[in-house]
Structure 1
Amino acid sequence: MRTALLSFSVLGGALAARPFLNEPDTGFDEYFADLPAGELPPLDKLVGLPDFDAAARRHLPTQNYTYYRNGAGGEWSYRNNLEVYNRYRLRPRTMVDITNIESTLPTTILGHNFSAPFFISPAARGGYGNTDGEKGLVEGAAAGDILYIPAQLASLTIEEIATFKKDDQVTFQQVYLDSNDTATKEVFARAEKSGSKAIVFTVDSAADGNRHRAARYGVGSADSAYTLITWDFYDHLRTLTDLPIVLKGIQTVEDAQKAVEHQVPAIYLSNHGGRQIDGARSPLEVAIEIHEQAPEIFSQLEVYADGGVRYGADVVKLLALGVKAVGLGRPFMYANVYGTEGVKRAIDILKHEIAIDAANAGIADLKKIDPSIVDWTPNWALA
């Protein structure tokens, strides 16, 4: 037993000492070595979503970049969000006709049609990346025909964001809510008048986020109060609007089951991008827990998830568990540094990656994907 414990200790120490790569080394720095400091690389030379992070890091003022980049505490949850996908390896099947895979990308989210099973997650302060604020996110989502969920604490108001929407564009509205019914009714009315088709209520920030990196630069949590958030409160909120209310920030199978009991139309697995409490599991791990302990949940309501998604294969793994649609926050905030065209380019890159990664895994139809395409035994050596 002592030998086993010693081996585990040594292994754990090795893992702890392993350097963390916020962006993978795919040659970005060498390729753009001659680019003047602060200058954005040509958009058509960016080949993957991590490139947008690297471009934003080089271009933005440190304070602005830090607001998007920071995580809670020692940022272990932020790191885990990025690394967890590589612990679960694909089991590619061969000799499968995958030639129509791109035609299976379109999906529905709460009954609304979109061109792909991913969306732009709510993220605040678009103005830190682009002086036009969220304009590029709205227009890019429209051009790529995907869902955009504006944050309540966006740089632009709900009404200003709505002015950039296409006539038929579907958006949801993210909100923070407390027991002030007057304020809640007001934000619901504004969302409805601006054409939002659903409310996304963030429930994972009942207290301030413990953000050390952000504190150094004065860009900490925008929602810092202690807030009473209960299931009774959710039931009350449903009486204040006719819009469906999605719960964002579900992190356990128990709360997912509670959501079914309370007739929630959709839940959103998220740990707030690793920005609220360090040590929280990744949404992928939560989705695995739900699949193992209560897989029926995926058919009882719609399940969305975000957190650390950077590649098409990441999306494929979440879809394989039963997740309906996958959100991305930071990658699109970094893409928005380029404005509308940057957001559209990021959408196109991810659509292509999902299609080719699914095809190479032997998936003929994304709507018929199942968990067997992944080995769900974690391989910590690949973490």
Structure 2
Amino acid sequence: MRAALISALAAGAAATRPFLNEPDTGIELALPDLAVGALPDLKSMVGLPDFEYAARNYLPARNYTYYRNGAAGEWSYRNNLEVFGRYRLRPRTMVDITNIESTLPTTILGHNFSAPIFISPAARADYGHPDAELNLMRAAAAENILYMPALYAGKTIEQIAEVKADGQVAFQQVYLTTNETATKILFDRIKASDAKAIVYTVDSAADGNRHRAARFGVTSADSDYSLITWDEYKKLSAMTDLPIIIKGIMTVEDAEAAIENNVPAIVLSNHGGRQLDGSPSSLEVALEIYEKDPEIFKKIEVYADGGVRYGADVLKLLSLGVKAVGIGRPIMFSNVFGQPGVEKAIQLLKHEIAIDAGNLGVPDLKKIDASYVKWTPNNWYS
């Protein structure tokens, strides 16, 4: 009887667990006198979750909500964060990992970068700082990582391109309609901005069901029904000589279809849990691909984003065959500090990737594989 009662209580606790934003790492104890609307010292930011705490305290509720919100009951938003904890690492010891930092550099579509991470497309950076996407582009240049500016940005494509450093590589994200004239004009602007690829978001054929955002009038930037098919992709590809990456792949079948349709690269993503509640995390999709058709990772470059907050999160995705990992909300939150905040967020994640790889016993990041993770879920829920 006692065991049954304990089991029932545990089940109830799991069902009603408190909603997570960032974990408790003592930041509120360290900043007891921080007034609402004030920005803490950048030096007090020691991990990506800290930037959300800072942004929530500093920004007007409307601005913060736009970045923070998810679809419907926000299960997918929460799952993006929690899923990494359901798979345990398998650390190796007695391994020389002293050169791990030198193995972080990678290529994305043939372009060289300092680490296997990138800034994912996220709209309206001006909600966090008046310099908006300019901070993100400059920080990406300073840290030599890829940035994919969003179409619905606080600055124009041209304004963002103006601040690129010499030789800096950026990709441009887009939403598209069936208006071929408008699409051609957009593609010409992207080409003129010297973007090296187009990132076509396909996981938002309809508006996202965002209750939290609706309360503040900050719903989806793209609210129309969209025609997104492989026939449309072929038409789009014929309109530009830039490679068109598909962002928003959530099944192994669609990854296979991307290969069949000569897509150069895909991004596993559920739009940060902002479009369809119940959609899988990128880690779950990467695992599905690894288990059902692992050759996909050899046939096409696979990137992923969603819920990544720690170096170990990046390692789990890389171990399955993902080539580069995108960061969205933490970068937008870090932008409340301006360019220095964005740079620090990138630096913190790079450092975590290196030290976590070292503690995992990975001597060369490019040689990490699925054996470093126990891929049996432990059914952990916060």
Q: TM bucket by the smaller chain?
A: over 0.9
* Aligned-pair CA distance for 1:237: 0.8
Q: Deviations over 1:26-59 (max 9, x none)?
A: 0011111112322111111210000000000000
Q: Does structure 1 residue 200 correspond to structure 2 residue 199?
A: yes
Distance 2:10 2:241 in 1: 53
Residue equivalent to 1:377: 376
Residue equivalent to 2:99: 100
Contact 1:251/1:270 (<8 A) preserved: yes
Residue equivalent to 2:342: 343
Distance 1:80 1:380 in 2: 12
Q: Does structure 1 residue 362 correspond to structure 2 residue 332?
A: no
2:140 aligns to what SS in structure 1?
helix
Residue equivalent to 2:275: 276
Identity across matched positions, percent: 68
Residue equivalent to 2:293: 294
Residue equivalent to 1:23: 22
Distance 1:250 1:144 in 2: 28
Distance 1:306 1:100 in 2: 27
* Aligned-pair CA distance for 1:10: 6.7
Q: What are the equivalent positions in structure 2 for 1:1-383 lying under 5 Å apart?
A: 12-383=11-382
User: Please, what is the CA RMSD of the aligned residues?
Assistant: 1.4
**Cα separation, partners in 2 of 1:335 and 1:272, compared to 1, 3 Å:** same
Partner amino acid, structure 2, of 1:295: P
Contact 2:259/2:300 (<8 A) preserved: yes
Partner amino acid, structure 2, of 1:169: Q
Contact 1:144/1:344 (<8 A) preserved: yes
* Aligned-pair CA distance for 1:14: 3.2
Contact 1:135/1:339 (<8 A) preserved: no
1:134 aligns to what SS in structure 2?
helix
Distance 1:104 1:359 in 2: 11
* Aligned-pair CA distance for 1:232: 0.9
Alignment coverage as a number of residue pairs: 379
Distance 1:132 1:89 in 2: 40
Contact 1:80/1:282 (<8 A) preserved: yes
Contact 1:173/1:199 (<8 A) preserved: yes
Partner amino acid, structure 1, of 2:124: R
1:131 aligns to what SS in structure 2?
coil
* Aligned-pair CA distance for 1:21: 2.1
* Aligned-pair CA distance for 1:179: 1.1
Q: Deviations over 1:113-161 (max 9, x none)?
A: 0000000000000110001111110111010100000000001000000
Distance 2:219 2:380 in 1: 34
1:380 aligns to what SS in structure 2?
coil
Distance 2:251 2:13 in 1: 29
Q: Please report the TM-score for the alignment, with normalisation by the length of structure 1.
A: 0.97
Unaligned 5+ runs, structure 1: none
Distance 2:298 2:182 in 1: 34
Contact 2:14/2:381 (<8 A) preserved: no
* Aligned-pair CA distance for 1:18: 1.6
**Cα separation, partners in 2 of 1:29 and 1:181, compared to 1, 3 Å:** same
Partner amino acid, structure 2, of 1:110: L
Unaligned 5+ runs, structure 2: none
Superposed structure 1 runs of 4+ greater than 3 Å apart: 9-14
Partner amino acid, structure 2, of 1:190: R
1:154 aligns to what SS in structure 2?
coil
Partner amino acid, structure 2, of 1:108: T
Distance 2:226 2:10 in 1: 41
Contact 1:142/1:165 (<8 A) preserved: yes
